[in-house]
Amino acid sequence: MSKLLSTAKTEVLFMGNEAIARGALEAGLSVATGYPGTPSSEVIETLAAVAKERKLYVEWSTNEKVALEVAAAASFAGLRSMCVMKQNGVNVASDFLLHLTASGTRGGIVLVTCEDPGALSSVNEGESRYFARMLEIPLLEPANFQEAKDLTKWAFELSEKIRNVVILRSVTRMSHASGNVICGKLPNKFRAARFVYDGLITDPLRGPVISTPVVAKHTLQQKKLKKAVELFEDSPFNSYSGPRHPELLIITSSVCYLYSREALGMLGLQKRVGILKLGCTWPLSAKLLKKYLRLTDKIMIVEEVLPFLEENVKIVAAGMLKEIGIKTFYGKMDGTLPSVGELNPDLVVHALGKIMKVQYKSLTESYMKEIKKIARLIPDRELTFCPGCPHRASFWSINTALQLDGRGGFVCGDIGCYAMAALFPAIGFNTVRTLHSMGSGTGLASGFAKLSAFGLDKPILAVCGDSTFYHAVIPALINAQHNRADITFIVLDNAGTAMTGFQPHPGLAVSAMGESVPDVDIAEICSAIGAKVAISDPFDLEGTSRTLTSFMAESGSLKVLILRQICALSPEKKGKKKYLMQVDEELCLGENCGCNRLCTRIFRCPALTWDRIKKKAAVDEVICAGCGVCYSICPQKAIMRTEATN
Amino acid sequence: MKKLLTKDPTNIIITGVGGQGNVLASRVLAGMLVSAGYFVTIGETFGMSQRGGSVMSHLRISSKSALSPQIPQGRADIIIALEPVEALRVLVKYGNPAVAVLSNSRVVYPIGVITGDFVYPSLDEIESALEKLTTHSWLIDATGAAVELGNPVLGNIVLIGALANTAMLPFDRHSFEREIAKDMSADMRKLNLAAFDAGAKMI
Amino acid sequence: MAFRAKKLSSQKLLKKGVLEEELCTGCGACVGLCPYQVIYHDRTVQLHYCDLEDGKCYAFCPRTPTDLSALRELLFNSDDLTPEIGAVKSYYFSRAADSRLRASAQHGGTVTALMELALAEGLIDSAIVSSCSQEFLPKGTVVNEKAALRNNAGSKFTVSPTVAAFNQSVNDKSGQIGVVATPCQALALAKMKTRPQEDESGKINQLQLVIGLYCGWTLSAEKFTKLLAQNSIALNSLKGMDIPAGKNILELYTNNGIRAVPFDDVQACVRESCRYCLDSTAEYADISVGSARFGNDWEEMRRWNQLIVRTAKGKELVELAVKNGALEIREAPADSLQELKKAAIEKKNTALKNIIRKSGSTKNLLYLDRHDPIVQKFLKNKASDKECR
């Protein structure tokens, strides 16, 4: 049984995302939607696993905008719904979000955003807290795992009290961290959907759901926000702990609260510094802040990544200077804390130490000296494509084709495991030259291809994965076709949303809840758009580079090559090897080959290692996935492959 | 009788290479300790680093309260490593003279070593480093034992078994049996127990 | 603190010094040695980055700095050396004795006849020649039978990376090899001979015989294809080409008859690297063969070859061929050697002029050694030309 269904009062070890899911269940959730994105994906995954028992509808939508629209529909019909995404996704959903907060909502609806300060699994460390301020939506941030559950549950209540969407913000160190949580009650009543729309256009609860008349609805929206602030004033999620007369007041939210508390412990400052933990971080309650800003004239704000809380606290403080006095603020804006990257207890200790003039006793000099010496022994461990990854083979062929073509063509990259080809150029064989957001590779390529009129005459390629294709690439592809941008577009179809954990997408005939559903074929979409389409197996290096070379030589049309081969880690593959690989030590000339170790130095498969003693290549049978591609690259044909009998 | 923690909080780091079963190991360990009545906070990254990069799980065990999911530098009490150079990598950042290290001896070469850009330290150098930086260390061939049982990924469970016999933490074979009974089939339980026992034997 | 600049890899040097400078002749010497360089159409392509120094690719390339006087010393008798056309032991007109052979040949069929004989007499076990122009882009191919040799006879006007075929096909089992080579290819093969003998492959020791071809220039496949398209000539209808003496055209033999293209148009399609080549008679071969064309006797002379014997090995082969009745030789007409030397001088002067223009200085002669006595002779001539004006 999933621990998400644990009985009330049980203490369970929940991941932050699981706690959020549990909180939503306790609130009587009916519909959950999202798009996979680290660190958010587990919320939807765990809900999908209990969808049957809890009578939920759970969906992986094609992108975050659609996901929010689907969740909104449920809310309009009086159900409680949740939409989950990573920080990038809020940008994608933002146009709809803008109109949603203007039209208002009915059933409680919570937008959960799981952000990635420090970009541990992203190519940005953007923030969505500002959307709350800009779109005038209440913002909640849980500061520990118990709150991740409780605050989520309360978010639905808040949403229904003010009839607007509520944003709940988490970060990697909350979402992917785990801690003890005491469960609450799961409801045993399930709502029925009812969409009322006969009322006047000005009636947000009974009329059509619409953001007009704009000024009237905007006025209403601002009233809702004021109501939220009143509720924040007495909320148990905002709390102070510390001395009655602190020398320094820390104002913090999210996991930074745990860092701050730990830092105080490490420096022994618990009796001198107080912490105001805010769970409701937009709008800020002036009444609440006044109470605590009065306590001392030194205020330190600990948050990540941008100084959102800091700016807002200062704005509130500026409005009440007469009552609270002049304050000194420490935070990001004055350089006390770093302005980029994620925080941790050590950074907070360092900052606190400076302000409170306390030294943190760390390790002895002699130990530090030893550490320095040993640190020099440690080799970097770079990321690379997994053994058996089709992307390695795809980029190998793309490089071959680009070199043979000789005009200096390049690839516009996109988001997925294959993004690593841009992040670590050597594993993409130096072919990918741009990387931005989902679907942007094709858009950029569509732009580059029109620059031949300005003298840029090179073959332009774009890549994307199968999941990314449905998310954002289609409009860019249509753009390329319609505007006659001569690009070669390559779909790296490994049958799943691999980087985030194999969530299904419209290219697969299965849904988030495991049901059999129709798939939407990529090749057919591209043909319908009018492109010339070919399908190839990326493990066939020669065939793939031949097709690419001929595509690049053809001008005047949109060409699509779909490289189809299942991901090496796909659960469907069950770790089965197609081939057994071995290096023939007689045939391998090792360092005397003159190939300058093409197999290990250039190909970069972690299963193809170099035996330092024999000075020859060797296959690591434990991690080899048996894809057989390395057989084709050795000029001596020293890498043997035999069919595996599974 | 509830076994006590020798130090409160106890900070444990489980480290290895993405794909070695780091996450499962931390879950199993955490599960056993939660059942024993402790507050456990785990900090993990399941992102891109799973693609052959270095991964770490930080476990904070306390009888009093929840802690930050990131262990401060120099504050690890126990380091469990699925790969030897990762043990060193973690030691260098989180080690202190009182730390204990239990590590797998099986090497997974970083791609930079395979290409010849970097040099992987010798076993001697690793052993010497462990000696200099820890109060106690063990290097065992967990992967070897796992391969004998038919699946190299069981190396993580072998290490858990070994950890049990170091008696540094309040859990034993009994706790492990109860923990795996929650989610695993009978066949899987048998295999995992065999791995646990193989590891325990090595200490 | 001492600071040592990192030496560039051979591959990088090759790229910077030859490929990017458009000096690459497409001879194929750098291809087939490793997986990094390939020939695609008539371009040399580097697929991946190699960081080895002292590589064979750089050492074998005929357009990297070369000590030509050392090569000459190694291969030829100094008494035989001429500044214009290299070593000359003897100079004849020749043609294949077999008239059927002559019929399928470009001119006199001498090259094919000599290779056939060398094979028949066991002097070589196989020959590497450029493949028949059925495929527009020729490549090196290994043959060890008469019929195959004859099928591949005929001049090719785009470069064949024949040396790549040598690199790839020579192994323990291929025995002694003979190669038909253009001047740049002959030079590459000669450079291979000067590699230290501890070179583990030792393949070069299997090279027994090089028959060189006179060459003025070769065409860029890309440009020539465009030219043909402009003249509505389908690539696959092309059977052969020739440059009749005295007329300013290129004759194209197609399935639909003979077409002529103005020579000026063809000139524009010449491969860039040819402009920097000083060798019109394959000076580094054992034997060099060209067309006997000169002036008014074109129609008569078109079925004969010029033949230069340069080495003892070459002499041996020619004498054997004459003795066995495979080859007919006759004394060359009085002024033909003169004409040949004149043409050779012109090519050398033009090339030097182009080289100096490219490098911007008489002190930088790209791949040539400006201290080479032969190079100096021609430089001086140029200088005196200037002064005369």
Compute the nearest-CA separation of A346 from chain C (Å): 37
C357: pLDDT strictly greater than 80: yes
Instruction: Please tell me the predicted confidence (pLDDT) of residue C2.
Output: 44
What backbone torsions phi and psi does residue A13 show, to the nearest 5 degrees? -85, 105
If residue C339 lies in a helix (H) or strand (E), which one and from where to where? helix C336-359
Taking CA atoms, C276 is separated from C21, C63, C83, in Å, by: 11, 9, 17
How large a percentage of chain C has pLDDT more than 90?
Answer: 51
Which of A158-162, A225-229, A386-390, C290-294 has the weakest average pLDDT? C290-294
Say if CB A570 and CB A544 are below 8 A apart. no
Residues of chain B with confidence (pLDDT) below 50: 1
Instruction: Please tell me the predicted confidence (pLDDT) of residue A231.
Output: 96
> Would you call C20 an interface residue with chain A, using a CB distance cutoff of 8 Å?
no
Instruction: Please tell me the predicted confidence (pLDDT) of residue C380.
Output: 79
Q: What is the pLDDT of residues B138-160, one digit of tens each?
A: 999 999 999 999 988 899 999 99
How large a percentage of chain A has pLDDT more than 90?
Answer: 90
Which member of B49, B72, B85 has the closest CB to residue A378? B85
Instruction: Please tell me the predicted confidence (pLDDT) of residue A522.
Output: 97
Interchain proximity B114–A38, CB inside 8 Å: no
Instruction: Please tell me the predicted confidence (pLDDT) of residue C6.
Output: 65
Interchain proximity C34–A403, CB inside 8 Å: no
C388: pLDDT strictly greater than 50: no
Torsion of Cα atoms, C73 then C75 then C80 then C84, to 10°:
-80
Which member of C34, C35, C47 has the closest CB to residue A403? C47
Instruction: Please tell me the predicted confidence (pLDDT) of residue B64.
Output: 82
Instruction: Please tell me the predicted confidence (pLDDT) of residue C1.
Output: 38
Question: How many CB atoms are located within 10 Å of the residue C199 CB?
Answer: 13
> Would you call B135 an interface residue with chain A, using a CB distance cutoff of 8 Å?
no
Neighbouring C-alpha atoms within 13 Å toward the C-beta of C248: 5
Instruction: Please tell me the predicted confidence (pLDDT) of residue A301.
Output: 98
pTM above 0.90, yes or no: yes
Compute the nearest-CA separation of C35 from chain A (Å): 6
Confidence of residue C384 (pLDDT cuts 50, 70, 90): low
Residues of B in contact with A262 (CB under 8 A): 67-68, 72
Chain A residue whose CA is closest to C41 = A404
Confidence of residue A558 (pLDDT cuts 50, 70, 90): very high
Interchain proximity A594–C38, CB inside 8 Å: no
A1: pLDDT strictly greater than 80: no
How large a percentage of chain B has pLDDT more than 90?
Answer: 73
Give me the mean pLDDT over the C338-359 stretch: 94
Portion 39-98 of B in contact with A at CB < 8 A = 39-49, 51-54, 66-74, 85-86, 88-89, 91-92, 95-97
Q: How many CB pairs under 8 A join A and C?
A: 36
Interchain proximity A383–B49, CB inside 8 Å: yes
Q: What is the pLDDT of residues A572-617, one digit of tens each?
A: 887 789 999 999 999 998 888 888 899 999 999 999 999 888 889 9
Task: Give the residue from C174, C300, C103 showing the smallest Cα distance to C113.
Answer: C103
Q: What is the pLDDT of residues C249-265, one digit of tens each?
A: 888 888 888 888 998 89
Token duo for residue A297: 């004239």
- Residue that has been written with the tokens 């995992």 in this structure: B192
| A interface test, pick of B13, B29, B32, B51 with most A CB neighbours within 10 Å | B51
Instruction: Please tell me the predicted confidence (pLDDT) of residue C333.
Output: 83
Whole-angstrom distance, CA of residue A155 vs CA of residue A82: 10
Which member of A172, A383, A420 has the closest CB to residue B45? A172
Count Cβ atoms within 10 A of the Cβ of residue A146 and give its class: 0-12 exposed, 13-18 middle, 19 or more buried. middle
Neighbours of chain C (3+ CB pairs under 8 A): A
Interchain proximity B96–A367, CB inside 8 Å: yes
Q: What is the pLDDT of residues C20-78, one digit of tens each?
A: 999 999 999 999 888 999 999 889 999 999 989 888 899 999 999 988 998 999 899 99
What backbone torsions phi and psi does residue A10 show, to the nearest 5 degrees? -75, 145
Instruction: Give the 3-state DSSP-derived string for A432-463, with helices as H, strands as E and coil as C.
Output: EEECCCCCHHHHHHHHHHHHHHHCCCCCEEEE
| Type of residue numbered A227 | K
Which member of B88, B112, B121 has the closest CB to residue A380? B112
What backbone torsions phi and psi does residue C131 show, to the nearest 5 degrees? -75, 160
Confidence of residue A556 (pLDDT cuts 50, 70, 90): confident
Instruction: Please tell me the predicted confidence (pLDDT) of residue C374.
Output: 87
Whole-angstrom distance, CA of residue B160 vs CA of residue B175: 11
Say if CB C54 and CB C10 are below 8 A apart. yes
Give me the mean pLDDT over the A339-346 stretch: 96
Residues of C in contact with A400 (CB under 8 A): 47
C5: pLDDT strictly greater than 80: no
Question: How many CB atoms are located within 10 Å of the residue A267 CB?
Answer: 19
Give one word for A89, left, alpha or beta, with left for phi > 0 and alpha for psi -120 to 50: alpha
**pLDDT, mean over chain C:** 86
Q: What is the pLDDT of residues A173-232, one digit of tens each?
A: 999 999 999 999 999 999 999 999 999 988 989 999 999 999 999 999 999 999 999 999
Which member of B66, B116, B143 has the closest CB to residue A145? B66
Interchain proximity C35–A598, CB inside 8 Å: yes
Complex ipTM above 0.95?
no
| B interface test, pick of A374, A418, A577, A599 with most B CB neighbours within 10 Å | A374
Residues of B in contact with A172 (CB under 8 A): 45, 47
How large a percentage of chain A has pLDDT more than 70?
Answer: 100
Instruction: Please tell me the predicted confidence (pLDDT) of residue C297.
Output: 61
Kind of pairing between the strands at A639-643 and A559-564: unpaired
Give me the mean pLDDT over the A138-162 stretch: 97
Packing angle of the helix pair A145-162, A214-233 (nearest 10 deg): 140
Q: What is the pLDDT of residues A517-548, one digit of tens each?
A: 999 999 999 999 999 999 999 999 999 999 99
Compute the nearest-CA separation of C7 from chain A (Å): 16
